[in-house]
Amino acid sequence: MKKKACVILPLIAVLCGCSSEAAIMRSDGITLYNQKNYKEAEGLFLQAISLDDQNPSIYCDLGMNYIEMKDYEKAFKAFDTSISLDKDQQEAYRGKGLIYLEQKNYDAAIGQFTQAIRNTGTRVGAIDYDILSYRAQAEAEGGFYQEALATLNALIELDVHKADSLFLRGIVNIRSGAFEDGFNDLKECADLSADPFLDYRIYETLSELGYAETGVDFLNKIFESTEDTDRIHLLKGKAYYLLGKYTNALQELANPVKSNDPSAVLYAGLCQENLGDFKKAEAIYRSFLQTGAKGRNTPEIQAIWAQCAYAQYELGDYNNAKHNIASAIALGDHGCNDDLAWNEIMILYQLGDYNNAYDKALTYKETFPDDERIDAEISLIHMKIEQIPGENQ
């Protein structure tokens, strides 16, 4: 699952109630789970269940393992079996809540987390605070701001997950119109730690909420770090890029680029583009794609293929641009399919491949009907086709 405001607790073996052999299988499965070896962990949990199919905790372990494998249907079945064996199984309700949260079914997630809290035993422990933190996230993302604030206020008062709780409360306050309160929460969150990555995250959040200028101070705090590592130089490079200081950014990005860090390559290329040097940008992208991209499929890798195509387009190298935009599209949906499809149409148009461009433009209109720009492009391409002798559309 994607990273949340709080951390999913590692599985901890509680061996009472199992046959000795099943207990060993379960314990070994938990070890593999905590090592992120989910496929082998699944096998051991299933073996443990075959030896002791009445233990609800093993089904919970199996369900959490399926969450990490993104097999939510099997995870639901495991959690439901656990609940059928013990209706008070707190971890099973928590697990179902995590799935609903991942699926953006916030009402259902809140219901599961609330039921999990109701099943708290006589002693409140770390898992209870963890569940409350996830419920607060579901309430916030579902737009239940007052409920989220109540949950977060309780967590902050208890000094539990305080930095994460302050961060989320800051977002909730800003979204609900209390900007000053929200900003103060984010500032207090940053003051709790000297972590430059947190400062960057706060800037990103403020930018997404429409307050990028207000977040500049958090970007500038990043430069106070004296740590001499590639990850810090990359972070500083990204911060300089966002501040429009492209030459400074390139200096920070130099070593991470040499290490073939995809994010550094992407930002270094973007800096050169913004400096107007598409030739250098293309060389940065192309060098990485020839040496560091083989067999890799991430949003950043896709972005580098796409930006390389864009730089080549600007340089008039349309044939290579066509090849690279196709390579970007082949990596699947990483959230920018509309931009990729649009750029492919523009490249085909420049190549004079009007029929292909026209077909893809019609597909684009069908796939992204809210983009009104495509109508003008379709008309322009159609006129070009009509000018070709023997072509009838």
Q: Which two tokens stand for residue 52?
A: 């002791």
Q: What digits encode the pLDDT tens for the residues 304-321?
A: 999 999 999 999 999 999
Question: CB of 103 within 8 A of CB of 85?
Answer: no
Q: Which two tokens stand for residue 376?
A: 């003008």
Q: What digits encode the pLDDT tens for the residues 321-377?
A: 999 999 999 999 999 999 999 999 999 999 999 999 999 999 999 999 999 999 999
Please give the average per-residue pLDDT across 212-241, as a whole number.
96
Q: How confident is the model at residue 123 (pLDDT cuts 50, 70, 90)?
A: low
Q: What does the domain layout of the chain look like in residue ranges?
A: 1-142, 289-393
Superfamily, domain 1-142: Tetratricopeptide repeat domain (1.25.40.10)
Residue 224 has pLDDT above 80, yes or no: yes
Task: Residue 94: name the closest of 77, 69, 107, 111 by CA.
Answer: 111
Residue 4 has pLDDT above 60, yes or no: no
Residue 393 has pLDDT above 80, yes or no: no
What is the pTM for the complete model shown? 0.81
Q: How confident is the model at residue 3 (pLDDT cuts 50, 70, 90)?
A: very low
Question: CB of 325 within 8 A of CB of 316?
Answer: no
Q: What digits encode the pLDDT tens for the residues 170-205?
A: 999 999 999 999 999 999 999 998 899 999 999 999
Residue 120 has pLDDT above 80, yes or no: no
Q: Which two tokens stand for residue 138?
A: 């579901």
Please give the average per-residue pLDDT across 247-276, as a whole number.
97
Task: Residue 169: name the closest of 155, 159, 3 by CA.
Answer: 155
In sign, the C-alpha dihedral spanning 133, 139, 141, 146 is negative
Contacts with 31 (C-beta within 8 Å, 6 or more apart), sequence order = none
Return left, alpha or beta for 244; rule: phi > 0 is left, psi -120 to 50 is alpha, else beta: left
The more confidently predicted of residues 226 and 8 is 226
Return left, alpha or beta for 335; rule: phi > 0 is left, psi -120 to 50 is alpha, else beta: left
Report d(CA 335, CA 145) in Å as an integer: 27
Q: What is the pLDDT of residue 127?
A: 84
Contacts with 162 (C-beta within 8 Å, 6 or more apart), sequence order = 155, 156, 192
Fold of the domain spanning 289-393: 1.25.40
Angle between helices 318-330 and 337-350 (to 10 degrees): 160
Q: Which two tokens stand for residue 306?
A: 């796409």
Same fold, 1-142 and 289-393: yes
Q: What is the mean pLDDT of the chain?
A: 92
Phi, psi of 292, rounded to the nearest 5 degrees: -120, 0
